[in-house]
Amino acid sequence: MDFNTAARYASLLSKSYAEDIFALLVNYRAISASEVAARLDLHIKTAQDFLESLAELGVLSKEEILEKKRPYYRYVLQQDRILLDIDLKQVKRELGRNSLTLLIREKQNAGARFAAARNDDYITSVTIWSGEGRDRQERKIKLTTPQGRFLYHLPFPKAEPLTVAEIMQKAGLETALAPEILDLVQLLEKYGVIEGLPDENARS
């Protein structure tokens, strides 16, 4: 099961009325959204949206019933078990071909604050600000030890940029930690703390 599908199941199962609706679906041969709403004292749209979502996931089938007033659907349970089996490797970020050769350095006038550990050569956190005036917000990013060691060796704004791989080597980090490091690099690029130069020939 892919992560997005599992998230849809989780969202439905977390509803306060989920167990009660499933109880009706198990005990009734077929049931409509209006019947569910009346039985559980829910808004008709709440019941309708829940049942439709289950139908989209294949948990329910639905049959259109034609009456004089207007057609409606009756829902029938198609399975008596829901198994959430998620391969977490699906959400692992794959390294791009040039990710480790990306040249980076601290951006000039980034305005970020790097908090260094007292006795060790690593950064413990980075504080950044966004917005202006009363809307200005502070965000403190706590770093893992490998991330902190990496940032400790990040070139200063006017220094020659280094590749991600070179900084990792200076920090004594193994290649297996690359996803964790690149996640931080992407985040700090987003907030303008790090500038990236994709061409390794762009060294200044």
3-state secondary structure of 111: coil
Residues 102 and 158 in one domain: yes
The pLDDT of residue 32: 94
Q: Are 185 and 196 spatial neighbours (Cβ–Cβ below 8 Å)?
A: yes
53: in domain: yes
| Segment 56-108, tens digit of pLDDT | 999 999 998 887 778 889 999 999 899 988 887 766 666 655 688 889 999 98
Does 86 map to a domain? no
pTM, two decimal places? 0.62
**Nearest 5°: phi and psi at 50?**
-65, -45
Print the domain residue range for 73: 3-77
Condensed to tens digits (0 to 9), the pLDDT of residues 131-184 reads: 777 777 888 999 999 999 999 999 999 899 999 999 999 999 999 899 899 999
For the chain, the distance separating the N- and C-terminal CA atoms, rounded to the nearest angstrom, is: 47
CATH number at residue 57: 1.10.10.10
Q: Of 77, 105, 140, which residue sits at a domain end?
A: 77
DSSP 160-182: PPEEHHHHHHHTT--GGGHHHHH
Nearest C-alpha neighbor of 170 from the set 96, 159, 183:
159
- Residue pLDDT, tens place only, 11-20: 999 999 999 9
